[in-house]
């Protein structure tokens, strides 16, 4: 049974027009930002890469949600995310990704956060703002209330 928790999600960073050439550069960038902002301890970025190598975090519609392996959840300092919108879509499996949201959270919270993010991506108004807004505050506001 899923919790009905209503707490705001901490958005540690919103990066627009990120210039990366590959999924691996994107995951490394996001992991480094989770560590730099204090959302996760050193080593969390490596866990994002390890998770991505096992199973793609591509959701569809140009969106990926990298998150760490459950065995490394102790490296998360709480529950938070980093948002990146890429200057140009990047190859991700056989698709292209324009938006990635990296999650730092204990294993017990990851599924709920992923479900909440997915629901946000299904809202056309929110998705339009995430895909086009030049205002990091507007993007963070949407994600915080996911």
Please check whether residue 29 is in contact with residue 18, taking contact to mean a CB–CB distance below 8 angstroms: yes
**Integer-rounded Cα radius of gyration of the chain:** 14
Residue 21 has pLDDT above 60, yes or no: yes
For residues 146, 80, 128, 56, the Cα torsion angle rounded to the nearest 10 degrees is -110
What length does the chain have? 146
pLDDT greater at residue 48 or residue 73: 48
Q: In degrees, to the nearest 5, what angle opens at C-alpha 125 toward C-alphas 56 and 86?
A: 45
Average pLDDT (39-54) is 96
Kindly state the DSSP code that residue 19 receives in the 8-state scheme. Answer: -
Share of the chain above pLDDT 90, in %: 88
Average pLDDT (103-128) is 94
Q: Domains, the chain, ranges and CATH?
A: 10-144 (3.40.930.10)
Average pLDDT (91-96) is 94
Relative orientation angle of helices 107-121 and 124-132, to the nearest 10 degrees: 90
* Nearest in space to 76 (alpha carbons), one of 30, 42, 49: 42
């Amino acid at each position: 049974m899923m919790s009905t928790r209503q707490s705001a999600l901490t958005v540690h960073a919103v990066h627009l027009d990120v210039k990366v050439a590959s999924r691996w550069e994107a995951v490394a960038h996001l992991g480094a930002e989770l560590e730099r902002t204090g959302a996760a301890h050193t080593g969390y970025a490596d866990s994002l890469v390890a998770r991505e190598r096992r199973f793609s975090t591509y959701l569809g519609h140009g969106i990926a949600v990298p998150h760490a392996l459950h065995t490394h959840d102790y490296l998360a300092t709480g529950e938070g995310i980093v948002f990146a919108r890429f200057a140009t879509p990047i190859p991700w499996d056989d698709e292209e990704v324009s938006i990635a949201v990296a999650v730092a959270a204990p294993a017990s919270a990851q599924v709920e956060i992923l479900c909440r993010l997915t629901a946000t991506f299904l809202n056309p108004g929110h998705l339009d703002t995430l895909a086009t807004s030049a205002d990091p505050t507007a993007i963070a506001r949407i994600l915080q209330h996911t």
